[in-house]
Amino acid sequence: MLLEAIYHRPRLNWCYAYDRETIHLRLRSKKNDLSEVFAYIGDKYAWEQTNELIPMKKLICDEMFDYWECSVKPPFRRLKYGFLLQSGHEQHWMSEDEFTITRPTTPNRLFEYPYLNPSDIFIVPDWVKDATFYQIFPERFANGDPHNDPAGVLPWGGKPERDNFFGGDLQGVIHHLDHLSELGITAIYFTPVFTATTNHKYDTTDYMTIDPHFGDVETMKQLVIACHERGIRILLDAVFNHSGKKFAPFVDVLDKGEHSVYRDWFHIHKFPLNVVDGIPTYDTFSFDPIMPKLNTGNPEVRDYLLQVAHFWIKEVGIDGWRLDVANEVDHQFWREFRKVVKQANPEAYILGEVWNESSNWLQGDQFDAVMNYPFTDAVLDFIANGTLDAQGFAHAIGKQLSRYPQQASEVAFNLLDSHDTPRLLTVCEGNKNKMKLASMLLFTYSGTPCIYYGSEIGLDGGQDPDSRKCMEWDETLQDRDLFNFYQRLISLRKELPALRTGSLQFLLAEESATKLAFKRQLGDETVLVLLNNDNSAQTIELVVEQCMWLNTNNDITIEAKGNTLSVHLPAYGYAILTAIK
């Protein structure tokens, strides 16, 4: 037993409240080192009467470690605990300070969860677990009102550039809500809609007005009402890390320099504001002089942005915020932001743009979730890029699931492409079967899936700005087979709760292999997901429980003999099977 690999701490993703009654305990060990793990638990004030051993199950694994987990419902909301580790006949007891051969005689030196206080519980909005998101880049989705077109607007469908305009607006979204309802969409994430100078609108001029090329506040209210009537939620993009060059306080600093009353709204190193050798004399987003970084440590800035956050939730009725460049804003601001937003609407979804490991923001005091780019990377590296085999994909997923509390994983924002990346079809080099395979993983994984506008009808595109093409509305030029495919995936996810919030267990994920199988389990519902990431047909054989299996993919034939299930998959084929008991 390699004790040096054993890890636990009484916080973060290792010991946390899942709900008002339940505490989750996790422990890490060297891969395949331990045969059994037990949590040794009890109440510190009644240890002799309450202590017991609770078996832990292997939650997931990666290339180096196994992760064990159990759920505990302490009757008095207090918990003292340690662990019993077994490897064959060898066993050790783990307390907060040491490993011992003998069982601890008192709870004094065990780990502790002092009390399950309701206000400390990380609560996420339940509706997100059942949602299917659709990301819209407003300038390129649909032109519903030509009267608000910017000067020099180009004919719809032209080549996208960083500085050209095609006239997309909010009225265009309203006109095409039938398309989203037919697809099965239940939530929309909009990139910025506030007044700005660029086509992407990430350089905010006025946080309290809709860009006049998109409409106005009344148009947004009409859109929110129309979407809510269809059961569609609205998520807006909050660019609070930085503003734009035409933001009134920044204009004042440009004009008055160090005498401006707004000088402390920004991070200024030297006056006058200038760009020297490509580096602005003030902090910006990515050295871009038109995006000055806001000083969220300034009480005036903080109060202004919190008023913005409250207004659009409370007065306009949006259902949450996606937070741009969220990891570059101070944690204290996001803690206050959460309080303001959740007071305005406890069910509001707070989504941070963080591309890396994000546990610092997912402890219940800041975000509900982050954009799950590690999942994106794992899927694309396995399906499109071929740099991960089946085992490598399973390890990447295992590592990701082990990092966060379960409730954060249940509302993770899962995506395969966006306005910031090449489009999925292009990454798959035009191979629609690969695209379908990747999307199938998106819709059978934990968290909420998001489709980037146009993917459902075959829109392609390379890196920004090519990924921001105009939506194609001529149905004769749309890929309706892809549309029907996504429609079916969304429907399946709605029909099978296990695909939304069930546990995940890999059944087949071997080294140097392209066959993958995993199980989603929720109560009595069992769903098997099998795929063949190869240009040749392959057969997957699994030992499973003996029952009837319903095949949701009519193109696939399955054979069950006793406990052996055999599924023949064509090149880049997949099967989603449900158990009938």
| Active-site hit among 324, 368, 410, 460 | 324
Element (H, E) at 224: helix 217-229
Q: Are 213 and 150 in contact (CB under 8 A)?
A: yes
Buried b (16+ CB within 10 A) or exposed e, 414-450: bbbbbbbbbbbbbbbeeeebbbbbbbbbbbbbbbbbb
d(CA 251, CA 212): 20
Helices and strands counted in the chain (H then E): 15, 30
3-state helix, strand, coil in the chain (%, to 5): 30, 30, 45
Say whether 353 is catalytic: yes
d(CA 457, CA 232): 20
Q: Are 290 and 203 in contact (CB under 8 A)?
A: yes
d(CA 25, CA 271): 53
| Active-site hit among 139, 169, 353, 456 | 353
- Rg (C-alpha) for the chain, rounded Å, is 26
DSSP type of residue 245: T
Distances (CA, A) of 391 to 153, 372, 378, 395, 446: 49, 20, 11, 6, 19
Element (H, E) at 220: helix 217-229
The whole-angstrom distance between residue 6's C-alpha and the CA centroid of its chain comes to 29
Tell me which amino acid residue 521 is: Q
Q: Are 155 and 165 in contact (CB under 8 A)?
A: no
- In 3D, which of 448, 462, 538 has the Cα closest to residue 500? 448
Q: Token digits for 218? A: 């009344």
3-class DSSP state of 322:
strand
Buried b (16+ CB within 10 A) or exposed e, 267-284: ebeeeebeeeeeebebbb
DSSP type of residue 262: T
Q: Token digits for 395? A: 């390890």
- Cis preceding-peptide flag for 272 (omega within 30 of 0): yes
Q: Which residues are catalytic?
A: 324, 353
